[in-house]
Every structure is written in C-alpha cells, then in structure tokens.
Amino acid sequence: MLETHLKNILPRFKGKKVLIIGDLMLDEHIWSKVSRISPEAPVVVADVARISHVPGGSGNVAANISALSGIPYLVSTIGDDSSGIKLSLALNNLGVSTKYLTKTKERPTILKSRIIAGSQQIVRVDREDKTEISAKLSEKILQKALKLIPEVDAVIISDYGKGITSNHNCKQIIKFAQKHKKPILVDPKGSDYSKYQGATIITPNQNEAEVASGIKITDEKSLSKAGEKLLSTVKSPFVLITRSENGMSLFFKDGKTINIPAIAREVFDITGAGDSVIATLALSFASKATAGEAAYLSNYSGSVKVTKIATQPVYLRELENALLELEPSGKKIKSRKELKEITQRLKEENSKIVFTNGCFDLLHLGHVRYLKEAKKLGDILIVGLNSDSSVRKLKGYPRPYLPEHERAEIIASLESVDFVVIFNETRPDNLIKIVKPYIHVKGGDYKISELPERHIVKRYGGKIVVIPPTKGKSTTNIIEKIRKFNA
C-alpha cells in the first residue's frame, strides 16, 4: 500500500541538514473573543485573551524542518528591535538556531499581526519594509549561505518577496548548490522565475503559477500548459503546483504529470501550509526519495497543517499518523483532541468505555489475551500507548525495540482494540482525565490500593479492574530467549 511505503521514508528524515535562505518574519497571534459590535462603527469588538509569537516566512519553514526531525540552518536578517528579540526566542523554542541570522538596523523585523476569534482570522496587520536590502548586507547573507551549502543535504529558497532573495543571490546559491550536487527547492514569488533557473523543483500555488506563466488555469489543459511553461522558464526537472482543494500536480521535464488528489480534512487555516509542504519536500529529497514520493508526502503534510489554527509546524508524529489513518488499522489511531470528542459522543450513546495503557513493546500472546479480556468488560476499548521517550524513561535503553508508530499500528490491528492514542507522560493520569472510562484496566499483580491513578478514577466514579498476567508470557522473557539463542 502506498501509505506504508511512504511511511518507511520518514525515519530517514532524522538528522538531515537543510539550509533555508529567505524572508524572515514574526507572526503575532492576538487570540480574542468577539461577542458584540462597536457602537462607533459597524465593526466587531475583539476582547483580547492572549498574545503569542511564532516564526513566520522562512522561520516557519525552518520550524517545520525541526519538527520533522531535520536540522535547519536558517540564513536571513533580523531587525535590531523588540520584534527581533521575540522572534529569536520563538525560533529557539522551536529548535531553530539563530546562529546564522544577521542582525541589522537597516530595516525592522517584519511583523504580521493576526487577530483571531475562535478559529477565524478577523484581520491581519502587516508592518514591513519590502525594499531590497543593501548590497553590503546582501553579500554578507550570501557568503553565509555559500559557506553552509557543502555541509547540508538540501537547500531551500523561501522567497516571500520582501527583499532577501535577490536575483543575484538566488543565481549564486543555485549555481553553488548544483556544483555540490545538493537538491534546491524554491517557494517562489513574483512574475519573473528566471532567477530560479537550475533549481531542482519550484512549488508555486495555483495563483502564483498563473501570474508567472501568464496562463489562467481553468481546467486540466490550461494547468498542463502552465506547468510546461514554468518548466521551460526555470529549466528545472520538476514543478509542483499546489491547488488547495484540488490537490497537487507534479510536472516532469520529460512530459510526465502526476495529479495528487487532496486529502479530505476539515480546513481551519491554510496559513503556513506552503511552508510545511516545502519543508517536507526538502527532507524527502534529502532522504533520496523520488520526486513522486516527495510530492505525496508533502501533500499529507499540507493536509495536516490546514487542520491547525494559525502558524504552526507539522510534527513527524503527525505526519506518521496522517499516513496511518488511511490504512485500515490506522483509522483507529487518534490524537488527544480527537479522542476527547469521540469519548464525549460515545458517552452520549451510553457506551461503556474501557481504558488501559502500556508500552506493548514486542507484542506477544500475553498482550493479546489481556486486551481481549479488557474488551469484554465494556463496549469500547481504548489503549493508551507510551511514546518512545516515555518507554525509555520507564524501561531504560535500548527500549523500545519497536518505534511508537509501529507499536500503534500493531495494537490497532487487533480486533479487540477500538482506538489507540500515544502519550508522552510516564503515567496515564492526563489521558484518564480526558477519557474518564467506565473501567480502567491494569494488567499484572497490582493491588488497586497501590495504583497512583486510583484517586483520579475514584473522583469521577469509575472502576478499576486488575487482570492477572498470562504465565510465562512477557517481553522480558522473549528478549532473554533471543539472547540465549544468540549466545
């Protein structure tokens, strides 16, 4: 199955180094509540609840690289101002180094403020200087980028049309990256794509493709013409046109086209989706995936981003789960948010929910029998699965032997299991508070009076049941047998 094949590429993302050069900005989110109209003018009144700051532009691309387990090298300018300080902190919080940023008084940090009520943007206010930076500053940025190219696995040019990616700089970076055989990915802007000539792939959205090609895209024929025109202009092996609800179209220089359908999801906010797409593409190319595989993975990544409100990166686990969801067992794997909604609905239907948790590393007969017995206690069985990091805290190195997404898929494939949720904590307390199961099940020789979570279960009126283990069946026994066999 395609999703399984794509999933096998994801572990190769880890540690891949990606250079990102482009326009850096600070995204300010003003989270508000709207409940009245102003008496002064026909506009809503937004009561501010909180304000948050995250990296935007090339900073969001870098944040996505980090979230997907890559290592971002971000080269750009940052203003010597209060917004610059906030931006530096925001980058560091998301695992992005500010080492290669050039602080300048020449221009302020670009600031985009969005007032958000519920899941809806009300207005965006931009404070920016779009003029090209001085020749001296431009050369300084270029030299930083050129110095890093030999060290990285892929190069991204993130062009937001704010003056960082000049014609000269783009051409020099592409030429040098070609010399070092690095894939070059461009998120383009404007009508003249000649400065991107020689890039490996460009990723315009449909509107950008129309502007650059001069062709209005109304059907498959005009889409093909636009793709061919851009291939000719940029002289790239590939052009990927993102088309929102119509998915993506990948054009090859040999005339081949792959149309990738959109993945049906509830769309909350498209902000930053293009950044998630190009970050996933870059890591895919860096991991030696084919252009087709890279495009399919980036399509999944974009589908995850649009379910999130405001500027947010896509994390590797979210991408793994998006792929799992389309496999039969994958539909059972849920996020905490999804699980909360599901359990509320199930309780309205008077379904008896049973919850258990564990590492389930190297699934064996004892696990299977335990889960069967747990399911008999109610209508729906939800399994909380310890993440890789929490298993390591509980069991020590080298556990777990199987990564969390594989363990989740194996558990979800069992007929007795209805839903699986991965959690990072060593104890399931927070999940129990969300699910509030009719019965909380533990496996082993526990005494209920010794269970730390008993107070939570008692507080909401639930029950705890302990199921004895199957004699002689444990992960530890399996490991010992393997060791003796190999001794």
Please enumerate in sequence order all residues whose Cβ is within 8 A of that of 220, keeping only pairs 6 or more positions apart, or say none.
none
Mean pLDDT of 438-446: 87
**List of domains in the chain:** 2-327 (3.40.1190.20), 330-486 (3.40.50.620)
3-state helix vs strand vs coil in the chain, percent to 5: 40, 25, 35
Contacts 24+ apart (CB under 8 A), 171-177: 171/195, 171/197, 172/142, 172/146, 173/21, 173/142, 173/145, 173/146, 173/149, 174/198, 174/199, 176/146, 176/149, 177/149
Predicted confidence at residue 37, as pLDDT, reads: 93
Mean pLDDT of 216-223: 94
Mean pLDDT of 433-449: 89
pLDDT at 471 over 50: yes
For residues 121 and 170, the model is more confident at: 170
- Sign of the dihedral through C-alpha 43, 46, 51, 54: negative
pLDDT bracket for residue 1 (50, 70, 90)? very low
Mean pLDDT of 469-477: 68
| Residues acting as catalytic residues | 275
Q: Strands across the sheet with 353-358, in order?
A: 419-423, 380-386, 353-358, 439-443, 463-467
Please name the amino acid found at residue 107: R
For residues 159 and 326, the model is more confident at: 159
Predicted confidence at residue 349, as pLDDT, reads: 66
**Rounded CA separation 74/240 (Å):** 23
Please enumerate in sequence order all residues whose Cβ is within 8 A of that of 420, keeping only pairs 6 or more positions apart, or say none.
332, 333, 334, 382, 383, 385, 408, 411, 412
For residues 265 and 440, the model is more confident at: 440
Q: What is the mean pLDDT of the chain?
A: 90
Residue 210 annotated as binding? no
Predicted confidence at residue 436, as pLDDT, reads: 94
Mean pLDDT of 456-460: 93
**Rounded CA separation 258/228 (Å):** 13
Residue 206 annotated as binding? yes
The number of residues making up the chain comes to 487
Predicted confidence at residue 422, as pLDDT, reads: 94
**Rounded CA separation 426/452 (Å):** 12
pLDDT per residue as tens digits for the range 301-352 = 998 888 888 889 999 988 988 887 665 556 788 988 888 888 887 887 678 8
Residues 436/459, Cβ–Cβ less than 8 Å: no
Single out the residue of 418, 408, 307 nearest to residue 353, CA to CA. Answer: 418
No. of helices (H) and no. of strands (E), the chain: 17, 18
Mean pLDDT of 32-36: 90
Predicted confidence at residue 477, as pLDDT, reads: 67
Residue 205 annotated as binding? yes
Predicted confidence at residue 361, as pLDDT, reads: 86
Single out the residue of 198, 200, 140, 164 nearest to residue 18, CA to CA. Answer: 200
Residue 207 annotated as binding? yes
Determine the 3-state secondary structure of 438 from DSSP: coil
DSSP state of 414: S
Residues 294/10, Cβ–Cβ less than 8 Å: no
pLDDT bracket for residue 472 (50, 70, 90)? low
Predicted confidence at residue 237, as pLDDT, reads: 96
Neighbours of 244 (CB within 10 A): 15
